[in-house]
Amino acid sequence: MAGGSILRNFAFYADVGYRITWITENRSHPWILVTGNGGGRWYNFWCDITQGGKDYRILSIRGTRQPFAIYACNVEHSRADYEMDILNCRNIVIYNLKSECNSPDLLIRDSDNIAVFSQGGDASTYPGGSLYHIENCTNFTLSLLYDYRINCSGHGPEYFSGTWFDPCEWHMLTETAPNGDVITTLPCERPCLYKRGNYRGCNEAEE
């Protein structure tokens, strides 16, 4: 997609047999991929294609430099390593990321000038894990990272939004800093602000 594109109110739903047949489906590639000169503004992105596979992502953004803003990003229900990733990118901002299930919400790796303002959703990841993973990134800001659980009955792996895990057993965020230090937020800690360097906004494209 061209760097100045605008997309509004688009959604991708699960296939026929919603939340029943998906568990048998494995994919080794992203459902939606943004790369090259991808950028612009997306408004109300919603995808709950509940499939799996190690390298499957609902949304993957790779190697972009153009300004890219997503206003309401809903990625959920996958059975992959991550619901979404941002790899080797610059100048991306997400205003409200929402997710459900147990797969970590977001991996940000080898990227600069990235922001996520507000997180929510019926999500809890596996014991010892983290919902957010940041690796070797500079100048990023994440704010108002919070989850809520509307049903604490436990459910199980076959349930569309996964299994409820005690929030004392997992973490909101783990960062592997550029110098190799690993920083993990405490269980039950929900950061109002987590940052490194200075997010500069993403209104202007790089030369």
Q: How many Å apart are CA 74 and CA 46, to the nearest integer?
A: 5
pLDDT value for 21: 47
Averaged pLDDT of the chain: 86
Residue 159 pLDDT class (50, 70, 90 cuts): confident
Q: Identify whether 146 is part of a domain.
A: yes
Query: Domain of 140?
Result: 6-196
Q: Identify whether 206 is part of a domain.
A: no
pLDDT per position as a tens digit, 19-56: 444 554 677 888 899 999 999 999 999 887 777 777 88
CB-based contact 81:106 (threshold 8 Å)? no
For the beta carbon of residue 57, count every other beta carbon within 10 angstroms.
Answer: 26
Q: How many helices (H) and strands (E) does the chain have?
A: 0, 14
As a whole number of angstroms, the longest Cα–Cα distance in the chain is 52
Q: Identify whether 203 is part of a domain.
A: no
Ordered DSSP codes for 12-65: E---SSTTTSGGG-B-SS-SEEEETT--EEEEEEEE----B-TT--SEEEES--
pLDDT per position as a tens digit, 176-204: 999 999 999 999 999 999 999 999 998 75
Q: Identify whether 1 is part of a domain.
A: no
Q: Identify whether 204 is part of a domain.
A: no
Q: Identify whether 202 is part of a domain.
A: no
Q: Spell out a b/e string for 146-164, using b for 16 or more CB atoms within 10 Å of the CB, else e.
A: ebeeeeeeeeeeeebbbeb
Q: Identify whether 155 is part of a domain.
A: yes
pLDDT value for 55: 84
pLDDT per position as a tens digit, 93-149: 999 999 988 889 999 999 999 999 999 888 889 999 999 999 999 999 999 998 876
The structural domain count of the chain equals 1
Assign 70 to helix, strand or coil: strand
Average pLDDT over residues 4-25: 63
pLDDT value for 118: 95
pLDDT value for 7: 84
Residue 91 pLDDT class (50, 70, 90 cuts): very high
pLDDT per position as a tens digit, 56-85: 899 999 999 999 999 999 998 888 899 999
pLDDT value for 108: 99
Q: Identify whether 120 is part of a domain.
A: yes
pLDDT value for 20: 43
